[in-house]
Structure 1
Amino acid sequence: MKIEIWSDVACPWCYIGKRRFETALAAFPHRDSVEVKWRSYQLDPSLPEHYDGTELDYLSTLKGMAPAQVAGMFAHVTEQASGEGLTYRFDDVVVANSFTAHRLIHLAAAHGQQDAAKERLLSDHFERGLDIGSREYLTSLGLGLGIGAAELDELFTTDKYADDVRRDFEEGRALGITGVPFFVIDRKFGLSGAQPAETFAAALEQAWDDSRPLQMVSSAGSGDADGTADACGPDGCAAG
C-alpha cells in the first residue's frame, strides 16, 4: 500500500498531521507493507528567499490578516501541537521560501532519508527557529543525514530536483489538492488536513481491505484444495 503526503515544511498543521498519521501507522498491523512518500507543496511560492519580519508580521502584512486573529490562530495551533508532543515557538520562526528545502527532501529520498529530512525541517522550523532557506543550515542538515558535501554543493549551484518539486506541485493540482497536509492512499482514498489519529487508522484499514486480492473459498469436501470446483471456461466445461 502506498501513501503519498503532500505537505509544506512551512505549514504548522503539516507537522501535527505527520505526528497523528504516525500514531495511526504505528498501530496498523500491516505497517511493514506500507510505503510512505512525501510530496512537495508550497503554501506561498511567491515568498522571497528570506522575509525580514516575524511570522505574525508576514501573515498580517502580506496576507492581510488582523494581528489579533493571527495571534489567536498561533495559540490554537500551539495547543494542538502540544497535544502531539510538539513545542511550537511562533515568535522564533524564520520566514523563508521553502523551495530549496523541498529539493533537499528529494535529494534525501535518493539516500533513503526522506522522512528524516522532513522531520528535521519541520522541527527546526517550528520548534527551534532555524532558517530553512539558509544554505548553511540545509548543508548541515544534509551532512547530518549522511549526504556527501559534493551532492549538497550541487544542490545549491544547479537546479537539480527542481523539476521533481514542480512535478509534485502539478500532480497535486491534478488531484485537486488546494491545501495541506493532504494524504493520498493508493491514488484511491484522500484525507485532507491534520485528521485525528483515529481517522487515519480507519482509512488505513479501509484501504488495506480494499486492496487485498480476492480470497478463494470452497465447500468442505468439494472441489480442489485451491478452492475450484466444476465450472466452464473459454476451452469448455470440465470438473474442477
Structure 2
Amino acid sequence: MSEKKLKIVVFSDYICPFCYIGFYRVEQLKENYDLDVDWKPFEIHPETPKEGTDLNNLPFPKEYLELMKENIKKLADDVGITFKLTDKLSNSRMALFFSEFARKNGKFDEFHKLVFDSYWKDGQDIGDKTLLFSLAESLGFKRKEILEYIDSEEPLKELKKSLKELRKYGINGVPTFIIGEKIVVGAQPYEVFEEVIDKVLEEDLVL
C-alpha cells in the first residue's frame, strides 16, 4: 500500500459499460493504493428519450455491436464481474442528477454503486424515477428533499460544468481518468493504471 494519498478524477456515465468496468477497476486499485476518487458526471447520449431506446435502433453495424460485446465480456472477466447486457439503453440524466444529490448529502459512493449494479447486473431501467427514488430511499434519503434538488437548476449546472472540464483536456469520451497530471482513457488493464500511478507517485505529481 502506497503511503501517499493520490487523487483521481474520473469522468463517467452510468450507461457506459466501460465506465462500469472502470468503476470496478478503481475498486481493485483501492486495494493497493490510498486513493481519493472524485467521480464526475458525463452524459454520453443526451439525445436518448426519457423512456429509453432500443439499442438495436442505434446507427451501428450489427458486427460492431457483437465485437463490442465480446470486448466487454473479456474486460468484465478481468475484473471479476458479470454483465447482464440488455437491448435497452436508458436515459442517464436523471440518474446523474440523483447521484449529485447523494454527493451533496455524503452518500455518493453508496448510491453510485447501486445505480451501476442496477443497470449492469440487474438489467433495470435507471432512467425510471421510481427505481431511482427506491435506491435513494434505501440509503435514508427523503423524497421531498430529492425532488427539491433535481427540480432545481443545480444538477444541470454541475453536469455542464463537468462536460466543459473534460473537453478542456480535448477529450469527448468516457471513462476518462485524470491521475495527477496524467490521463488514462478507457477501461484499461490493471497494469496500465498501476504503471501510471507508480510513475505519478514517483514524480510527485499528485494534485
- TM class by smaller structure: 0.7 to 0.9
- What's the CA shift string for 1:36-71, capped at 9, x where partnerless? 110111211111112343x3x1xxx33x21223313
Q: What's 2:64 paired with? A: 69
Q: Contact (CA 8 Å) 1:100, 1:133: kept in 2 or not?
A: yes
Structure 2 Cα separation of the partners of residues 191 and 52 of structure 1: 30
Counterpart code for 2:137: L
**Counterpart mapping for 1:80-229 below 5 A:** 80-91=75-86, 94-186=88-180, 188-211=181-204
Q: CA deviation at 1:137?
A: 0.6
After TM superposition, what 4+ stretches of structure 1 lie above 3 angstroms from structure 2? 155-160
- What's the CA shift string for 1:82-110, capped at 9, x where partnerless? 3322211213x542211111111111111
- Give 5+ residue unaligned stretches, structure 1: 214-240
Q: What's 1:11 paired with? A: 16
Q: Secondary structure at the match of 1:6?
A: strand
Aligned length: 201
Q: Contact (CA 8 Å) 1:21, 1:197: kept in 2 or not?
A: no
Q: Contact (CA 8 Å) 1:105, 1:118: kept in 2 or not?
A: yes
Question: What is the RMSD of the two structures over their aligned residues, measured on CA atoms?
Answer: 2.0
Structure 1 Cα separation of the partners of residues 205 and 172 of structure 2: 30
Q: What's 1:237 paired with? A: none
Q: Secondary structure at the match of 1:184?
A: strand
Structure 1 Cα separation of the partners of residues 142 and 198 of structure 2: 39
Q: Does 2:26 align with 1:21?
A: yes
Structure 1 Cα separation of the partners of residues 53 and 20 of structure 2: 24
Q: CA deviation at 1:212?
A: 7.2
Structure 2 Cα separation of the partners of residues 190 and 113 of structure 1: 27
Aligned pair in 2 of structure 1 residues 212, 163: CA closer, same or farther (>3 Å)? closer
Q: Secondary structure at the match of 2:89?
A: coil
Q: Contact (CA 8 Å) 2:52, 2:127: kept in 1 or not?
A: no
Structure 1 Cα separation of the partners of residues 31 and 64 of structure 2: 36
Q: CA deviation at 1:136?
A: 0.5
Normalised TM-score (structure 1) = 0.77
Higher relative contact order (CA 8 A, sep 6+): 2
Counterpart code for 1:152: I
Q: Secondary structure at the match of 2:79?
A: coil
Q: Does 2:37 align with 1:36?
A: yes
